[in-house]
Structure 1
């Protein structure tokens, strides 16, 4: 059994190396730079080894997206616990979300803009996606005030994603990020400033 355990650890380590290397390349040079040939050169394994772990680049991008959702969920959780009021929690998680997208553009693309086989809001939705949404909803629950929190969370998520997408494309006025977030939070809190 020890040999099988060692082989599984080695397999898991190779898989993690592939994901980490692909992520590093995508963040440094963009997704077009991430190919199986380039990855095999970078990690010093043959392309067939890559295909033992992943069916192709889309599968690797999905693995990176899953990691991203897990990271975002943890960031939102930690940020929510640092806040005093519900309004402050919503403001902080909105900033944290935008900061995550800004600091991890390739991961964010894998999560939200690349073609994917990951399914959202379905019976087979991966736990990392569920956790990301659930953490966002925990914050929205604080301000939902009788509104359908699930739908309100989807609207907040869509608004944050819209801000990320429009900001990246240079479609929003620079220097007004804070104003936009304050307005968004006021809309979700009904203008209440809980103390």
Structure 2
């Protein structure tokens, strides 16, 4: 079950939805309280009634991103309990919302501002397919590295990334079977 964050007011939810649209369009650095307020048609000080500061808004967005990540990854494993299913969904998640992916996975994690257990639950599918905490972290590190390099267009032109992902999947599957 998804760890539940404290409920947000309807207005705070509206603010986070707008902030997410801005993040997805322009990245987190472009989201200022002034820009967000203008987008919502309100004055910037009104935002502070719902979020104590920009960091609190960031934590709310990361909370949403981790909850979505966990839901999608757990659902993928319910369909097919495999490393391949997990990594295919992870890749799709990063590609579908690259700026939200960056916000949730790059830079320091504001753990004290997140719901208890959310980060662990979102990452649990990696443990579920490996049954080993170190291999789970290695698998996530592989997936994250591939995902961030791919969405940042860091691979040389002409790279066959589908094959690179598949080779990584094969390597992890082989490590579990002892091949």
Query: TM-score band (shorter)?
Result: 0.7 to 0.9
**Counterparts of 1:91 and 1:184, CA distance in 2:** 9
RMSD of Structure 2 on Structure 1 (CA): 2.3
With a CA cutoff of 8 Å and minimum separation of 6, indicate the structure with the bigger relative contact order: 2
Which residue is 1:93 aligned to?
A: 86
Other structure's SS at 1:45 match:
coil
Which residue is 1:113 aligned to?
A: 106
Q: Normalising by the residue count of structure 1, what TM-score does the alignment of the two structures yield?
A: 0.76
- Rg comparison, structure with higher value: 1
Other structure's SS at 1:53 match:
coil
Q: Normalising by the residue count of structure 2, what TM-score does the alignment of the two structures yield?
A: 0.83
Tell me if 1:138 matches 2:119.
Answer: no
Task: Structure 1 unaligned segments of length 5 or more: list them.
Answer: 1-8, 142-148
- Deviation of the 1:24 alpha carbon: 0.3
Q: Deviations for 1:8-57, whole angstroms, at most 9, x for unmatched residues?
A: x8x61111111110000111122233111111122233322211222322
The 10-residue stretch of structure 1 (26-35 or 149-158) with the greater mean CA deviation from structure 2: 26-35
- Deviation of the 1:160 alpha carbon: 0.7
Question: Structure 1 residues 116, 54: closer, same or farther in 2, change over 3 A?
Answer: farther
The 10-residue stretch of structure 1 (110-119 or 129-138) with the greater mean CA deviation from structure 2: 110-119
Other structure's SS at 1:190 match:
helix
- Deviation of the 1:170 alpha carbon: 2.8
Count of aligned pairs between the two proteins: 169
